């Protein structure tokens, strides 16, 4: 594996291992896509597709072109165990 491939793989792994507080201790009303995806055990791109197609189990708020996901909705889905 060359150095570039190794750097990309390391960066991807580091991104996956981001530390987010447990969802029940989250004190923000909305979180970014990476945090929401972490708690829902989905890829961030899946949540972006839900937003784009408006067909997912939750809808984001759009703030200046960015997606913000309601913590209450994430808590509900996690409690239901149905983050489809």
Residue 8: inside a domain: no
End-to-end Cα, the chain, rounded Å: 36
Q: Backbone phi, then psi, for 81, in 5-degree steps?
A: 70, 25
Q: How far apart are CA 74 and CA 36, in angstroms?
A: 7
Residue 72: inside a domain: yes
Of 15, 20, 42, the closest CA to residue 7 belongs to 15
Residue 44: inside a domain: yes
Residue 49: inside a domain: yes
Residue 6: inside a domain: no
| CATH code for the domain of 54 | 1.10.1660
Block residue for tokens 């896509």: 33
pLDDT at position 19: 84
Q: Which residue range(s) make up the domain with 46?
A: 19-80
Residue 12: inside a domain: no
- Is the pTM above the cut of 0.85? no
pLDDT at position 82: 55
Instruction: Going from the first residue of the chain to its last (84 residues), give the mean pLDDT of each consecutive group of 10, the final group possibly shorter.
Output: 63 63 94 96 96 96 96 95 61
Question: Is the CB of residue 51 less than 8 Å from the CB of residue 59?
Answer: yes
Query: Count of domains in the chain?
Result: 1
């Amino acid at each position: 594996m060359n150095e570039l491939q190794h750097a990309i793989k390391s960066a991807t792994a580091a991104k996956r291992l981001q530390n987010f507080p447990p969802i029940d201790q989250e004190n923000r009303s909305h979180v970014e896509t990476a945090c929401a995806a972490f708690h829902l055990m989905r890829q961030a791109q899946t949540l972006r597709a839900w937003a784009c197609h408006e067909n997912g189990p939750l809808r984001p708020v759009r703030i200046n072109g960015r997606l913000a996901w309601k913590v209450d909705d994430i808590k509900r889905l996690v409690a239901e165990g149905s983050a489809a």
